[in-house]
Amino acid sequence: MSYKVTVIIPTYNSVEFLDSTIASIMNQSIGFENIELIIVDDYSTDNTQELINHYCEKYENIKTFESGKKTGTPGRARNIGIANSTTEYIMFIDHDDNYLPESVEKLYNAVTENSCDVAIGKFQTFGEQKIVPEDWITHDVVLNSIDEDLRFFSINNIWRMIFPKDFLNKNEITFPEGVFAEDLTFMIDAFVNASKIVFINDIVYNFRLRTGDNSSTSLSKGMHYLDGLIEGYNNTVDVLKKNNACKYYDTVFNQHLSCWISDVALSETIDSEDKRELVNKSLKLFDGISDVNPTPENNAVKNIIKQIRARNLDEAYSLMSDYQLFRNRIHQLEIELAHKTQQVAILQSTKGWFKYKTKNIKQRLKKEI
């Protein structure tokens, strides 16, 4: 059987959401018979693999492959999916998200009709939290080089994209395995090698945002994750060097390192010694930035980075501590404000109820008189 597109799902303890994710792929307007679905599990501790096996037994275009070892990140599973795919085009989806009904068809048409190396769509969030995706793109865009709009470097959500498999293989573009920020490394490699990038102004992906997923929830981020990001960022540096693309260093890392040091400063799960260790490991990454300009603008983070680059580390740690106290106070005030707002709403509702009941009593008394 010949398929048009391969969709790859990396899974881990996915029983709760996987049925919904697969259903969204089966309901594609391009026709499920034109899709090869590859699912690779990272040694789940629930019944995920049994559920996958059930689908594989029922549908010949759903396949599963052994990952060989547990890595804790999706990079290895995605690489296995790419290596075992039999189609010309590759897409990815996370195990708890879903596509819109025309997602695969729209991206497939974009990549084939434009003969491009990367086609990208928009996404929307659903679930326990909401975020607003980028709003700086309001129309279809065709780039003949990433140099035509460097803002595209900020788009590293590989699950709303489609790639020709030949393009990935020719440029040896793969995911780093067992590290975080693997999608950033993959996307930077793709963008700097792409001869044409197409963006379609259509929503193609539903991203489930759960409590704790939002990057602003920094206080819960621990040592394993923050340390793992350093290794992931170093992999991205290697990709820039491999492609003679170090001129993009500032564009790629200004925002990522600003967010990272903010998360380190605000984390309440690691102590001051661990924070010092993380900063020491990241010094070379900060040295590579030529212009400190966090986005969105944050003077506190900018000052911390300046002190790190100047090797005034004690001053940097002091600023990080002050920043944490300040943000914690802001967070507390936000909670208090939300509580007060709720109280006002209750009082307003009570006042309105009494006003309504009083008016009805007056009207009844008038009728009786």
Residue 363 lies in a domain: no
Structure token digits, residue 292 = 């400190």
**Residue pair 130/52 in contact by the 8 Å Cβ criterion:** no
Q: Indicate if 173 and 49 belong to the same structural domain.
A: yes
Q: Indicate if 38 and 131 belong to the same structural domain.
A: yes
HSE-up of residue 187 (Cα within 13 Å, Cβ side): 23
Q: Indicate if 197 and 56 belong to the same structural domain.
A: yes
Q: Is the dihedral of CA 51, 52, 57, 60 positive or negative?
A: positive
Which of these three, 209, 243, 274, is where a domain ends? 209
Alpha-carbon gap, residue 317 to 308, rounded angstroms: 9
Exposed e or buried b per residue across 176-193, where buried means at least 16 C-beta atoms within 10 angstroms of its C-beta:
bbebbbbbbbbbbbbbbb
Alpha-carbon gap, residue 356 to 346, rounded angstroms: 15
Residue 63 lies in a domain: yes
Q: Indicate if 66 and 158 belong to the same structural domain.
A: yes
| Amino acid code (one letter) for 179 | V
Residue 355 lies in a domain: no
Kindly give the confidence (pLDDT) of every residue in the chain, 369 residues in length, as a single tens digit, with 9 standing for 90 and above. 799 999 999 999 999 999 999 999 999 999 999 999 999 999 999 999 999 999 999 999 999 998 999 999 999 999 999 999 999 999 999 999 999 999 999 999 999 999 999 999 999 998 766 666 677 888 999 999 999 999 999 998 999 999 999 999 999 999 999 999 999 999 999 999 999 999 999 999 999 986 554 433 444 589 999 999 999 999 999 999 999 999 999 999 998 999 999 999 999 899 999 999 999 999 999 999 886 665 545 788 999 999 999 999 999 999 999 998 988 888 788 787 877 777 667 666 666 656 655 666 556 555 655
Q: Indicate if 254 and 182 belong to the same structural domain.
A: no
Q: Is the dihedral of CA 308, 313, 318, 321 positive or negative?
A: positive
- The parent domain of residue 39 ranges over 5-209
Residue 115 lies in a domain: yes
Residue 335 lies in a domain: no
Per the structure, the count of domains in the chain is 2
Residue 214: per-residue pLDDT: 41
Residue 366 lies in a domain: no
Q: Indicate if 179 and 269 belong to the same structural domain.
A: no
Residue 354: per-residue pLDDT: 61
Residue 299: per-residue pLDDT: 85
Q: Indicate if 177 and 246 belong to the same structural domain.
A: no
Q: Indicate if 199 and 269 belong to the same structural domain.
A: no
Q: Indicate if 179 and 280 belong to the same structural domain.
A: no
| Amino acid code (one letter) for 24 | S
Which of these three, 151, 180, 209, is where a domain ends? 209
> Can you give the CATH number for the domain in which 127 is found?
3.90.550.10
Cα separation values, 101 from 95, 143, 204, 208, Å: 17, 27, 8, 16
Residue 344 lies in a domain: no
Q: Indicate if 275 and 201 belong to the same structural domain.
A: no
Residue 245 lies in a domain: yes
Beta bridge partners of 295: none
Kind of pairing between the strands at 197-209 and 118-127 = parallel
Q: What is the 3-state secondary structure (H, E, C) of the chain?
A: CCCCEEEEEEECCCHHHHHHHHHHHHCCCCCHHHEEEEEEECCCCCCHHHHHHHHHHHCCCEEECCCCCCCCCCHHHHHHHHHHCCCCEEEECCCCCEECCCHHHHHHHHHHHCCCCEEEEEEEEEECCCCCCCCCCCCCEEECCHHHCHHHHHCCCHHHEEEEHHHHHHCCCCCCCCCCCHHHHHHHHHHHHCCCEEEEEEEEEEEEECCCCCCCCHHHCCHHHHHHHHHHHHHHHHHHHHCCCHHHHHHHHHHHHHHHHHHHHHCCCCCHHHHHHHHHHHHHHHHCCCCCCCCCCCHHHHHHHHHHHCCCHHHHHHHHHHHHHHHHHHHHHHHHHHHHHHHHHHHHHHHHHHHHHHHHHHHHHHHHC
Kind of pairing between the strands at 141-143 and 89-92 = unpaired
